[in-house]
Amino acid sequence: MFADLHLHTNFSDGTYTPEELAARGRHAGLAAMALTDHDTVEGCARMAAACDALGIEFISGTELTAEHGGHEVHLLGYFIDTRHERLLAEIAQFQTVRQNRVREMVARLNRLRVPLDAETVFALANCRSPGRPHVARALVNAGLCGSLDEAFERFLKKHRPAWVPKFKMSAAHAIALVHAAGGLAVMAHPGLNRTDDVIPGLAQAGLDGLECFHSKHSTAMMEHYLALAEEHRLLVTGGSDCHGDSKGKPLVGTVKLPYDYVARLKARVAASAASAPERPPAGSRPPP
């Protein structure tokens, strides 16, 4: 039994619907899947229903962008209560920040005489958490760039003329927010963000785990982060970080996390719920 615990849909910057993603997970033989769209839990209800219909265990989640010690850190929240009022209120604030960031990127493009309209980007995104990939797709669709790579290279990468910095919450705040919603906080793809130096401090701040298995982690990276997880007594997760067709070939199921790791996550959630009974039930649906 295997799981993929890092997946995106068209409710953020992926291209698959929840139903399409669940179907691909079934084709890949997955026993469990987690939806971790950026700054939203909008797709979780549909993903849960789609997984339930296919006999796949569903784990609710989200991906939050944070910072610690000057480093950008991506935090995955698992087993969260998707109706938690504080979580939803803070996510809504970040969705507004995302929308304003898109408007500013488009304004910078317009100053470069690139004739793109923000409403075109929002219509293409059709979600509350738009981002740079949606701006890139809009540029390609309008014939203003030949490819997504060109759009990022010319305009949208860091320090390019239409790049706008992203507002981030502190990592400690993000961890506390995930815990308040009954979930576990896991650092995503540490090998990509080069955030080893902040792991000890975040472990002290309540970080629950490390994403050791990732589609862009080499074998050496995986082994390195497995050792760090053991050293700091952190749980281990893994996932493909699939965004559908927007970032090359589809990745769902290419990282197959052994289900034993999922069982350990569930045991931690159960232990936390037992020690804090006021917490909401964990956001997991077992297969029928």
CATH number, residue 82: 3.20.20.140
> Residues 275, 176: one domain?
yes
> Residues 278, 148: one domain?
no
Residue that the structure tokens 């909401």 belong to: 280
> Residues 191, 235: one domain?
yes
Residue that the structure tokens 């480093």 belong to: 71
> Residues 111, 19: one domain?
no
> Residues 199, 275: one domain?
yes
183 found inside a domain? yes
221 found inside a domain? no
Q: Which of 131, 130, 147 has the alpha carbon at shortest distance from 139? A: 147
What is the reported pLDDT for 279?
47
130 found inside a domain? yes
> Residues 152, 244: one domain?
no
> Residues 55, 194: one domain?
yes
35-53 b/e (C-beta count within 10 Å ≥ 16 → b): bbbbbbbbbbebbbebbbe
- Answer yes or no: pTM beyond 0.95: no
Report angle CA 100, 105, 111 to the nearest 5 degrees. Answer: 125
218 found inside a domain? no
Structural domain that includes position 81: 10-89+169-205+226-253+261-285
21 found inside a domain? yes
> Residues 137, 176: one domain?
no
98 found inside a domain? no
Mean pLDDT for back-to-back runs of 10 residues, the chain (288 residues): 95 92 96 95 96 97 91 94 94 91 95 94 88 92 92 93 88 95 96 88 95 94 96 96 76 92 95 67 50
48 found inside a domain? yes
Phi-psi region of 94 (alpha: psi -120 to 50; beta: other; left: phi over 0): alpha
> Residues 116, 70: one domain?
no
> Residues 152, 181: one domain?
no
Domain count, the chain: 2
190-218 b/e (C-beta count within 10 Å ≥ 16 → b): bbeeebeebbeebbebebbbbbbbbbebe
What is the reported pLDDT for 246?
63
What is the reported pLDDT for 167?
80
> Residues 139, 281: one domain?
no
Quote the CA–CA distance of 22 and 10 in Å, as a whole number. Answer: 13
> Residues 76, 114: one domain?
no
240 found inside a domain? yes
Strand pairing report for 61-68 and 169-170: parallel
